[in-house]
Amino acid sequence: MTGPEQDVPTTPAPNTPAPTTPAPNTEGTADPVVDVPHAGALLTVTGADRPGVTARLFAALAVLPALEVVDVEQVVVHGQLVLGVVVQEHGADDDAALVARLRPVAARVGDEAGVQVLVEPAAGATGLVADGVRRHHVIVLGRPVPPEAVGGAARAIADVGGNIDAIRRLSDYPVTSFELTVSGAEAAPLRAALGAVAAATGADVAVEQVGLARRNKRLIVLDVDSTLVRGEVIDELAARAGRAAEVGRITAAAMNGELDFEQSLRARVAALAGLPVSVLDEVREHLVLTPGARTLIRTLQRLGFRCGIVSGGFTQITDPLAASLGLDFAAANTLEVADGVLTGGLVGEIVDRPGKARALARFAAEFGVPLDQTVAVGDGANDLDMLAAAGLGIAFNAKPFVREQAHTALNQPYLDAVLQVLGFTRDEVLDAV
């Protein structure tokens, strides 16, 4: 992106006296802002939804002179319509007079359409959020969503100075999710307040800033063990080597951030020495995908995303998995094999915590996707650099240490709940599938 143009100072020609009084510069001067008075009114339509209600209302408003529509919000909940319309009359400043003119129109529309149309003053209504006021999407997810989660979120938003401008349902299966559009609250206190609600109610509450960046994501990276698939592959291998308890303790410490990942990885791999390479095929065949994994990948691919995996596990497992899912890229560690058995060593570059972030950056560059248009999903401490580097980092059923540092967290058992965090509705998912 180029920076703003800079003024270049000019030097007067030699022997040319500089003017003592500069001539007035009128070039490029904006017209003065004229504060035109206006009256405002809010029309609220409620009743059974049926074809033609909205068209009938706006047709009636169209015949009134000097009237401008400045805001519209409509929602249908189980067949019941709620439609709000803010109008202004320029050149007038009497809200009450405008309301009086609109009430007979509203009554006629209500009688003809079989709905109720309430008209009330809306002094100074503009339908716009003031410049500089931040807006956020707050997504509440659950299976189900308890009333106290929605009520708690609403109270928390108000407590930090926010206002709920709109609410819509994103999905009803496999999780129920609602999106609240919030204005007037800063991100940090909003996330903190809603985090307390999530902890108290068991629902997931995600926060994202409103803007084009939310829908311009183009690449997603998924961790594998305990994210894309259930369980930890290395624990399965260790069980076959008779070292399950030992390796399990090391794995838990590494995922909680208590041990350096590379050191813990090498210690765990060393415990696999002597395993026949055929064991890798057995473990791979018994992998269980996390519910919703195929739906997430298939949907995002049809929406134009590049999808791949970056794992601290092993290429002998992840490469065939990536091929079976039709993924665009994969990165992982490689187990050393000699004479048909695992040596207990690794070959090539280690994909550890910083290695995962490097892999994300590498794949984003290969596909020409800026990092702020990427999404990363993971559950362990070794995912933290990758989650931080992505435009959106999602902790999925993660350790508390990881949830606290990710952009947002999901604790639902379904991986396709990521789609709702990205703002996609259930209908959009079904259309993509």
Give the separation between CA 325 and CA 249, rounded to whole angstroms.
31
225 is catalytic: yes
Task: Report the alpha-carbon distance of residue 415 to residue 292 in Å, rounded.
Answer: 5
Distance, in Å, from the CA atom of 130 to the CA atom of 151, rounded to the nearest integer, reads 26
Which residue of the set 49, 223, 379, 383 is catalytic?
223
Instruction: Give me the residue label for tokens 């379904």.
Output: 414
Catalytic position from the list 49, 204, 225, 383: 225
| Local confidence band at 37 (pLDDT 50, 70, 90 cut-offs) | low
Q: How confident is the model at residue 132 (pLDDT cuts 50, 70, 90)?
A: low
Dihedral (C-alpha) 412, 416, 422, 425: value to the nearest 10 degrees? Answer: -100
Q: What is the largest CA-CA distance in the chain?
A: 94
> Does residue 215 surpass a pLDDT of 80?
no
% of the chain residues with pLDDT over 90 = 65
The one-letter amino acid at 2: T
Give the pLDDT score at 166: 86
Closest CA to 152 of 78, 77, 204, 210: 204
Residue 71 confidence class, pLDDT cut points 50, 70, 90: confident
pLDDT tens sequence across 142-197:
998 999 999 999 999 999 999 998 888 899 988 999 999 999 999 899 999 999 99
Residue 134's pLDDT band (cuts 50, 70, 90): confident
433 pLDDT tier (thresholds 50, 70, 90): low
Segment 359-368, tens digit of pLDDT: 999 999 999 9
- At 299-330, the pLDDT tens digits run 999 999 999 999 999 999 999 999 999 999 99
Per-residue model confidence as pLDDT tens digits over 342-401? 999 999 999 999 999 999 999 999 999 999 999 999 999 999 999 999 999 999 999 888
Per-residue 3-state assignment (H helix, E strand, C coil) for the chain: CCCCCCCCCCCCCCCCCCCCCCCCCCCCCCCCCCCCCEEEEEEEEEEECCCCHHHHHHHHHHCCCCEEEEEEEEEEECCEEEEEEEEEEECCCCHHHHHHHHHHHHHHHHHHHCCEEEEEECCCCCCCCCCCCCEEEEEEEECCCCHHHHHHHHHHHHHCCCEEEEEEEEECCCCEEEEEEEECCCHHHHHHHHHHHHHHHCCEEEEEECCHHHHCCCEEEECCECCCECCCHHHHHHHHCCCHHHHHHHHHHHHCCCCCHHHHHHHHHHCCCCCECHHHHHHHHCCCECCCHHHHHHHHHHCCCEEEEEEEEEHHHHHHHHHHHCCCEEEEEEEEEECCEEEEEEECCCCCHHHHHHHHHHHHHHCCCCHHHEEEEECCHHHHHHHHHCCEEEEECCCHHHHCCCCEEECCCCHHHHHHHCCCCHHHHHHHC
